[in-house]
A and B are shown apart, each in its own frame.
Chain A
Amino acid sequence: MNHVNKIMMGGSVILGLLLLLNLSTPYLYRSLPNDYERTEIILDSLSDNNFKPTIAIFGNSKAMTGINCKILNNEMISDKAYNLSGVGQPLLESALYYPYLPASVNYVIQCLNIPMFAKKPAISSEAALSFYMYGYRYNENLNKFLSPYLDNYANKSPLINNFQGRACLKVGLSTIIRKLTDDDAPGDEVSSLIYPYLYPSNRSELKYERDINQLNSDVNPLQNSELNKECISLIFKLNNYFKHKGIKYFIVLMPENPDIKHTHDKITKNFIQSIENSLSDKVHLINCTSILPNKDFYDAQHPNRNGAEKLSKMIVSHIKSI
């Protein structure tokens, strides 16, 4: 074989190998642990015909540790509540699940943090990638008002998605090794759809104080922020979407830790007031920002089991009052 042919053949082999590695990435991704396994659990449940929740909870890790569906189910006997929140789940990501909620759902509880209202609706590229890998199909109905934020994800070619997903091998192996060696690794409660409480051990006072001090020495992140109009308008559109379906939609403003000084300073108070002004007569708004004392928090951000009990009961009383 002359040299040109050899090079051509070598080039084709390399290309073929690259294609093989690329196309097999989703299978690799799904078989290895990663930071978005919860997305897979939620998507799988939503496509399971036997999954018939009546109350669906969405939000980020604050909602994971802060809302205990066991309590909700105890207080509302004829209802079935499920906690479909996830780490770092922003409003846009929760909205991706909405079209696939089973017909049994009557109430949707969307938990949001105050800082989210200052930013344009967005989703991280890694999160979008996980949706691709777990086989999510972008829904026509929602595309109408979600598409400006999701266009580059919804239209991305599978080859590029697969290429960007190649980190899954490293992340997967890292997660496995970490589970075997590290005490600080999260436990298996993370997969629960009832109460995915993240923390395996009790709060370390030393670390807690250090984190609080760090946050208190920083400036209020809301310092020069304004209410983001797109965020508010998206909430209105989602509210209408559920109205047409006869589903009651609640926006919960999640508790802030009073030990952090700027959560109750003027800037934050004004900001929360502006949220209420924009939303309260058009949307079911539940303001829980100040209902928990500092001992009901595991760390600077997340409610602990006691906090979850209080918060869950508060949500129940609001649902019942409608």
Chain B
Amino acid sequence: MIFNTFPFLLFIIAIFCLYYFVLNENTKRQNILLLIANYFFYGWANWRILPLLIITTILYYFLGLKIEKSKEDKKKNIYTTIGVLFGVGSLAYFKYSNFFITSFAQLFKSIGLQTNLHTFDIILPLGISFYTFRLLSYVIDLNRGKYEVTTDFVAFATYVAFFPCILSGPIDRPNTLIPQLTSKRIFNYDLAIDGFRQILWGLFKKMVVADNIAVVTNEIWENYSLFSGSTLLLGAILYVFQMYADFSGYSDMAIGIAKILGFKVTVNFKYPLFAQNIADYWRRWHISLTSWLTDYVFMPLNVRWRDWGNIGIIFAIVTNFVLCGLWHGANWTFALFGLYHGLLFIPLILSGTFAKKTKIHLTKSGMPKIKDFGKMVVTFILVTFGLIIFRAKSINQFIDYIKHICSSSILRIPKVIGYNNVTMIFSIVFIIMMITLEWLNKDKEYGLNISSMKYRFARYSIYLFLFILVYYFGADASSFIYFKF
């Protein structure tokens, strides 16, 4: 079930009513309800892979108990290793086997050997990247002694399969979510209202901003050899905003839904488009993933290679980001994307600035100072280039796209076909709306957190305006034929 569909609306209303009116204050029963809801939600998407999720959860639950009970480090390590191997192994199997197979076949072909390897028909279980990471962090942290084991199976299983977050994150750690599950939750009105507000904001970003930009960028990418260099460049820039609006919008919806149920889920985005360097960017983009990788990939590598000084840090960062890239999908473009970002850290590491927190200096009128604004623009350009690699279907397509940008047609006015030109203009208007609100509220948790705005009339007008935009411009509403003249 996707969040902005009618079945989901019915689902969440039912859960809300049962949760607060029928089972109010009975934590144990509320958790059971949540667990059933989680599995219902997951099974709705594809009931065939639900057993895998359940069995995996049970396996890790018992691994956790074993790790805690073991007195010797050696035994603890064995159980942890089983957990890690199983998790990484299942990801490798479901997500990457076909990728490995086709890559090997291509490699052999290029040196003249024919192979008869064929790819398998593997269904990718939804959310596997997300719930596997939650499970891995559980066993690893138990082993490190950072956390106590959970004996409450219902709470544990709910943590693993928490429905607002299972399909697209954020990735919570056990020690942030499980304590909330085992403690009492009563209806928190302010939190719930905040949640609704965040959901509205997420709907706006996803349905109005991202989905409309997508109409334009999809057209540009599908026929990029027909358009001018300037159009391709604009397409790349729009794609950055699309990715941000889509992903952060979805996260906002997930966080908002969790808030309505009384949970505080980890923040996933902190205005990455205002970042002043690449390190800053990654501290603000998909925070739950990068912090997961930092704790379980970067840190161990960094610790292991700490005697190699800067070289050690560089290798650790590059490995970290190549894995980050590959996490997104099984294609060499994702690996290249990761490598590209890893390499961008090198200047920062060598100059010692990569760890320093950045601050945005403002002028009297609230705009960024020229120096900081310049840094934001440079970072934005670097990110744009990286996302071209990300979007391309293959490395060849990426190179081809860049070639087409660097042609003489870069000076022409960007133009797509027919109505999509107007969609392009609308998209730019929506982007400006989004960025403006987010800039004004950059110290707040999310762009629409305007509860501190003075006039109630102004606040409600903004909510109404966004609501109307979502209704009329939400891009499922792009069902017009396009006049082919």
Contact = CB atoms under 8 A, between A and B. Distances in A.
Partners in one complex: yes
Interface residues of A, number: 32
A31 interface: no
A125 interface: yes
A177 interface: yes
A178 B477 contact: no
Interface stretch (B86-94, B236-244, B279-287, B466-474): B466-474
Interface stretch (B103-111, B290-298, B421-429): B421-429
Nearest to A2: B189
A140 interface: no
Interface string A45-88: 00000000000000000000000000000000000000000011
Contacts of A17: 464, 467
B457 interface: no
Contacts of B483: 35, 87, 186
A16 B338 CA distance: 48
B189 to A, nearest CB: 4
B481 interface: yes
Interface string A159-192: 0000010110111011101100110101000000
B189 A6 contact: yes
Contacts of A198: 485
Contacts of B436: none
B479 interface: yes
B44 interface: no
A194 B480 CA distance: 26
Contacts of B426: 170, 173-174
B62 interface: no
A21 B471 CA distance: 8
B418 A184 contact: yes
B147 interface: no
B422 A167 contact: no
Contacts of A14: 467
B188 to A, nearest CB: 9
B419 interface: yes
Interface string B443-485: 0000000000000000000001001100111000111110101
A101 B418 CA distance: 34
A18 interface: yes
Nearest to B189: A3
Interface residues of B, number: 24
A178 B421 contact: yes
Contact of B421 (A18, A171, A182, A199): A182
B187 interface: yes
A164 B474 CA distance: 11
B480 A171 contact: yes
B422 A174 contact: yes
A263 interface: no
A34 interface: yes
Interface string A177-221: 110011010100000000000110000000000000000000000
A125 B473 CA distance: 19
A34 B480 contact: yes
A126 interface: yes
A228 interface: no
Contacts of B192: 7
Interface in A231-277: none
A199 B468 CA distance: 36
A166 B485 contact: no
A128 to B, nearest CB: 12
A126 B481 contact: yes
A88 B418 contact: no
A174 to B, nearest CB: 4
Contacts of A170: 426, 472-473, 477-478, 480
A166 B422 contact: no
A175 to B, nearest CB: 8
Contacts of A184: 418, 485
A225 interface: no
Contact of A35 (B187, B196, B481): B481
10 contacts: A6-B189, A10-B196, A125-B479, A166-B471, A167-B472, A169-B472, A169-B473, A173-B426, A175-B419, A178-B421
Given A166-B471, A199-B485, 15 more contacts: A6-B189, A125-B479, A126-B481, A166-B477, A167-B472, A167-B478, A170-B472, A170-B477, A173-B426, A174-B419, A174-B423, A178-B419, A178-B421, A184-B485, A186-B485
Interface of B: 187, 189, 192, 196, 418-419, 421-423, 425-426, 464, 467-468, 471-473, 477-481, 483, 485
